Every structure is written in C-alpha cells, then in structure tokens.
Amino acid sequence: MIYLDHNATTQPAPAVVQAMLQQMSSTWANTSSQHGPGQDAKRALGAARAVVARVLGCKPVEVVFTSGATESNQMAVRGLLAAAEPVRRRVLFSRVEHSAHLKLARALAESGVQVDWLPVRADGTLDVAAAAALMGPDVALVSLMAANNETGVLMPYEAVAQLAQNVGARMHVDATQLIGKLPFDFAASGADAVSLSAHKFHGPKGVGALLLRQGTAFVPPTPGSQERGRRGGTENLPAIVGMAAALERLGDLEQQAARIAQLRDALEAGLQQALPATHVWSQQVARLPGTSYLRFGQLSVDVVLQRLDTLGVAASSGAACSSGGSEPSHVLKAMGVPADEALAAVRFSLGSDTTHGDVGYLLNKLPPLLAPLLREETTTPSTTESP
C-alpha cells in the first residue's frame, strides 16, 4: 500500500512502539501512588515531559498532557475564556479551523459568547488586516491553527499573536498539523496555549498536549489533581512515553521538509502535465511540505478515491473526519470555492516515509485511469442547475 494520507494520521514508528511496550511492562503503576513503583512511574512521566519541553521550546511545567488535539483545543478555549476578565466576552476563530473546533465555536455562540470569524482569501491564506480590524479590548482570546489540515496553508500565527497581545487578549494556536512537519518553538511563537496530537508525527493515537504559558490565567475545564491541577485523570503513561519517543526521533525537520516538498511538487507537476484538468488549491502560497489539495476537473472524489484504492493508494477527501459525508469542505467554502468543485476535492498528504518510487508509481498509473473519465466529463453536459 502507498500511504498518502499523513495529515489524517501516521504509522507509529518502531522506536515509539518499543518505548510503549517497555513502559507498559515495567513502570505501569499509578503516577500518583506513594510507593516505589508509583514513584518510578512518576519519574518516567517527568522524563517524557522534559523531552516534550526540550523539543518544543517550552518549560516542563508548561506541558499539560491530554488525550489529543481535540481535547487540547477545547481545554484551551474554555479554560482561557473562563479566566478572562468579565469585559472580555468576544472570541475570534478562523473560519478554517478543524471541524471539531468549529463545533465548539458554535456551541459557545449558542451559549451567548460573541464569536467573530477571521476570514481567509481565495488562496486559503489568512487575511491579517481583517484580523487586525476585529481586535479590541473586549476580545478574550483568538484561536488560530498554525497550518490547515486540508490545504496545508501556513497561517501567520505569530503576527496574529502579536495583534492579540496588543489588545491584552490570549492567543491559542492549534499546531496539530505543523508540529512534526516543520520546526516549532513555543517560546518564540508568542502564543499562550498550543495544541498538538502525537499520532500526526508517528506517535500513538489518543494522546497529545496543551502547552500552556506559565503564569497564564486558566480555569481547568476538567479539574483534578494531576498535571498540577490543570487536567484531572490518571495519565496515559504508555501513550505519553510514546509521544516523547516520537518527538525525540524527529531529526532535521528543515531537511526532511525540503525532500518531501520536492516529491509533492513533482507529483503535482506530473499530474498537471498528464491531466490538464487538474487544479491544485493554494499551490502558490506557503504550505506544509507534503500537502497537495486538488481536483481532477469535477470528477467526484468518490470516483477518484475508488480508482486510487484499486491502485493500492490511500488518500483522502478533504478532512478525513468528515469523509463519508457529501457536504463540501468548510475550508473550500471559506475560500469561495463553488460546491461542485469542492465535492471533487482530493487530498494527498506525503510524509517522511514517502519515496520517489511512490510518486513515480502514482504518476504512471493514475492518469490512464482518470483520462477517459475526464474526456467523458467534458462531452457530457453538466446536470448542475444554475441558482
């Protein structure tokens, strides 16, 4: 199988599996227990925390372990909002946040919080001037992703953090897609809170962290004695140890990103040459190195994914979390893409294990399968009615 769906999840690295097996068969006691085995487990937790802090440029006390980015995102927004001064009742979200995060935004709006939306341009980039215009002394916090999971577009989170800081608002960054693919430094980011999920960088699923700047006012949405009172619940130590192992093995990300971007660019160029109806979104702007979001004319994504499946290639339609549904992607909608084009969206996401051979295979095999369908498409009149 050729796996080109790294934005959905990645295969746990052998070093990660090894670290988890080792942890589960040795220091498996409760980290809160006073006895010797409990203290051993506590030391293992501390060691994992130190690794996360070192790799991501924060202090160990700033790492709060969670069950993944969905929880970290919710925790950040709810926890920072609850701690904000009463005059700060406005929250800003970008329109292209992860779908689960948008559900939180809508729930907040229904509960009476004023939610304002940061717009994106047609190329998927954030409109910083529009963001600046929405800032004010009544803003409690801004929540913005570091990189979009569908288009791969990099967001100017540092600039927006500066804007938030200027009005005394807190800044939350969902760095789930960026961390592990490009260098990230919490101290330099200007963010107060940052979310990450281990399974996006060859770690296990169901574990992540919220990096929370020391001294930031925060009301824990899940109180308890663990994680210095910021998140209750016995820590998932095997998964946490696995996440630390995954971060530790990352290596030179700049170098890897350059290699992966070269493969991605070769894939796009080859597809565009063989199938001129190929349209790539956000191709001209700064993107994650491995992400390619495109459509083949208006061929239904289900048809394309089925053909890919017969070739043994795993790819995705827009956000994996909404696959199966026929709703056009909210990201493409925010970019002003018409629904019939958005329903043709295919996402390839390459990763550190993608090879030249994988790209060559796809370029050899896919165009002959799609070309006849595209010819049919241009000769059959569209059934879509004009509004």
Q: Which residues are catalytic?
A: 321
The H-or-E segment that residue 144 falls in is strand 139-145
Task: Give the SS3 label for residue 141.
Answer: strand
Q: How large is the C-alpha radius of gyration of the chain? A: 22
Q: Does 94 bind ligand PMP (CB under 6 A)?
A: no
Nearer to ligand PMP, 151 or 278 (CB): 151
Among positions 74, 125, 151, 176, the unique one binding ligand PMP when judged by CB under 6 A: 176
Residues in region 287-346 near ligand PMP by CB under 6 A: 321
User: What are the residues whose beta carbons fall under 8 Å from the beta carbon of 150, sequence distance 6 or more?
Assistant: 7, 96, 293, 318, 319, 329, 331, 332, 345, 347
Sign of the alpha-carbon dihedral angle for 256, 173, 324, 199: positive
Among positions 12, 68, 180, 318, the unique one binding ligand PMP when judged by CB under 6 A: 68
Q: What binding mask, one character per residue, do residues 128-147 give for ligand PMP by CB under 6 A, x or -? A: -----------------x--
The H-or-E segment that residue 142 falls in is strand 139-145
Binding residue count for ligand PMP, defined by CB under 6 A: 12
Beta strands 90-94 and 114-118 are parallel
Q: Are 71 and 101 in contact (CB under 8 A)?
A: no
Q: Are 93 and 105 in contact (CB under 8 A)?
A: yes
Rounded to a whole number of angstroms, the minimum distance from the CB of residue 174 to ligand PMP is 5
CA gap 193, 164 in Å, rounded: 13
Nearer to ligand PMP, 102 or 363 (CB): 102
Rounded to a whole number of angstroms, the minimum distance from the CB of residue 130 to ligand PMP is 21
Q: Does 172 bind ligand PMP (CB under 6 A)?
A: no
Q: What binding mask, one character per residue, do residues 14-43 give for ligand PMP by CB under 6 A, x or -? A: ------------------------------
CA gap 132, 253 in Å, rounded: 31
Q: Does 98 bind ligand PMP (CB under 6 A)?
A: yes
Q: Does 177 bind ligand PMP (CB under 6 A)?
A: yes
283 dihedral zone (left: phi>0; alpha: psi -120 to 50; beta): alpha
Rounded to a whole number of angstroms, the minimum distance from the CB of residue 27 to ligand PMP is 25
Among positions 10, 149, 316, 349, the unique one binding ligand PMP when judged by CB under 6 A: 149
Which DSSP letter does residue 98 get?
Answer: -
Q: What binding mask, one character per residue, do residues 193-212 give for ligand PMP by CB under 6 A, x or -? A: ----x-x-------------
Q: Which stretch binds ligand PMP (CB under 6 A): 65-73, 132-140, 161-169, 342-350?
A: 65-73
- Can you give the binding site for ligand PMP, defined by CB under 6 A? 68-70, 98, 145, 149, 174, 176-177, 197, 199, 321
